[in-house]
Amino acid sequence: MRNDALDSGVRRKTEKEKPMTTLIKICGLSTEATIDAAAKAGASHIGLVHFEKSPRHVTLEQAAKLRVRTPTSLKVVLLLVNASPVLTEQAYRAVRPDVIQFHGSETPEWLALVKKHMKVEVWKALGLRSAETLTNARRFDGIADRLLFDAPAQALPGGNGVAVDWSLLAGHQHLVPWGLAGGLDPDNVGEALAATHAPLVDVSSGVESAPGVKDMDKMARFCQAVADHDQRSHQA
């Protein structure tokens, strides 16, 4: 397992510190077999999507069953898109995720309210268009437990396999933990990490054989590519 070190995401390493291991979230899982494969491959987080328009949608009942069945080495992230307060609370009670990922136009005030009432980490996904997005992201400082930078919304708010402009993140001073999402796959994740030094990478369509169908071989290759990157940077 590679997920022993929880990187704050703010610093990668200092001279005397051990270099950190990149966290890996594999999103949009819907079967026990793929959850087991994610654990075996070395992911740190799995994502369950509760959003009816997504090909990766799982009902709250399915999500609750998968959650209970998930090995303790994996943190469970429940993904919601502009869910109502009632649905958010229902989803939290049914699934008891470790994290709720908000992937719509949710506000800092809404995330703060969720954090106040639910024992859960709150992550906010933001569509990274320009440097201005990074400035606007400061609204979530001290509220979101992690920011995820994804490509701007297309047909769906996420899960579109579209990469962000990594150069926008290169050298950016992050004040809160963060992660890179959008269009990652086994062949480009090493380059993405070298360009951005992301402490967490989040992948969905890049490890699928068809929309909503996870490919366990691609999942393993993705995690191996991240491990290879980590090893290279530990040696540097």
- Provide the binding-site residues for ligand LGQLAAA5, judged by CB under 6 A: 27-28, 47, 49, 51, 54, 56, 79, 81, 103, 125, 148, 150, 156-161, 181-184, 202-206
Cβ of residue 56: shortest distance to ligand LGQLAAA5, in angstroms?
Answer: 4
Q: Which is nearer to ligand LGQLAAA5, 167 or 235 (CB)?
A: 167
Cβ of residue 80: shortest distance to ligand LGQLAAA5, in angstroms?
Answer: 9
- Give which of 198, 206, 195 is closest to 165, Cα–Cα: 195
Q: Which is nearer to ligand LGQLAAA5, 117 or 128 (CB)?
A: 128
Are the CB atoms for 26 and 47 separated by under 8 Å? yes
Q: Which is nearer to ligand LGQLAAA5, 9 or 206 (CB)?
A: 206
Q: Which is nearer to ligand LGQLAAA5, 19 or 168 (CB)?
A: 168
As a three-state string, the secondary structure of the chain is: CCCCCCCCCCCCCCCCCCCCCCEEEEECCCCHHHHHHHHHHCCCEEEEECCCCCCCECCHHHHHHHHHHCCCCCEEEEEECCCCHHHHHHHHHHHCCCEEEECCCCCHHHHHHHHHHCCCEEEEEEECCCHHHHHHHHHHCCCCCEEEEECCCCCCCCCCCCCCCHHHCCCCCCCCCEEECCCCCCCCHHHHHHHHCCCEEEECHHHEEECCEECHHHHHHHHHHHHHHHHHHHHC
Cβ of residue 101: shortest distance to ligand LGQLAAA5, in angstroms?
Answer: 7
Q: Which is nearer to ligand LGQLAAA5, 15 or 52 (CB)?
A: 52
Cβ of residue 211: shortest distance to ligand LGQLAAA5, in angstroms?
Answer: 8
Cβ of residue 178: shortest distance to ligand LGQLAAA5, in angstroms?
Answer: 12
Q: Which is nearer to ligand LGQLAAA5, 57 or 65 (CB)?
A: 57
Cβ of residue 27: shortest distance to ligand LGQLAAA5, in angstroms?
Answer: 3
